[in-house]
Structure 1
């Protein structure tokens, strides 16, 4: 996916929204910036399919050699699918955070949270201001 066409949460998750069977589905991952900040990933606890998630709440976690970090859901809905191969192939997150490194697909049940997400330019500006 093209990072410039994605939406971003302040907590460094990216979102790609698509329509599927008349319903909005968000593919969620963590940004390249977040991957670089975490450095060497050693473990991911993926969310469970069917789990209800709320925008802004932790829905899985990733562990690096430095720390354990929560991954926050940028949308409200239900986990429709998880990227199971990530559990054994964490390098996909580092090598291709916007492609094979996606974490979950969430069926959006309330799209109000989408309005709080940033476009690529706003996200890049936020990163620059944090530096």
Structure 2
């Protein structure tokens, strides 16, 4: 799995660059607590890297979900909309948020690998 991480605590699996998968990290869901609602982006909408693409709400707080790369939303996780707790129980798989068609795959190079993200998250 080709997974990269943003400093905003999103992960992106770009193994298939036609439709990279994006979600929040284990660190993010730990910090949020029990997720009770997600606001997912509209399919077909394009976002620049760093733009807010959605919102995740928990019993403790609400947090923006940022685009780790620029691109167009090609699919959202309807199962997550129906059961937001998937973001807690399986954040790196079934709890994914959306799929994005990359505008610039080179932006992936600016994201963190798992080792660097783990070190970053210790101090976040």
Structure whose alpha-carbon radius of gyration is higher? 1
Same topology, TM > 0.5: yes
The alpha-carbon deviation at position 117 of structure 1 amounts to: 0.4
Moved over 6 A (4+): none
Structure-1 residue corresponding to 2:74: 80
Q: Which runs of 5+ in 1 are unaligned?
A: none
**Structure 1 position 41 matched with structure 2 position 35:** yes
The alpha-carbon deviation at position 69 of structure 1 amounts to: 0.7
The alpha-carbon deviation at position 24 of structure 1 amounts to: 3.3
3, 7, 10: which one aligns with 1:6: 3
- Residues 1-131 of structure 1 mapped to structure 2, 5 A cutoff: 5-19=2-16, 24-130=18-124
Answer yes or no: is the 8 Å Cα contact 2:36–2:85 preserved in 1.
no
The alpha-carbon deviation at position 85 of structure 1 amounts to: 1.4
RMSD: 1.3
Name the TM-score, length of structure 2 as normaliser.
0.93
Name the TM-score, length of structure 1 as normaliser.
0.89
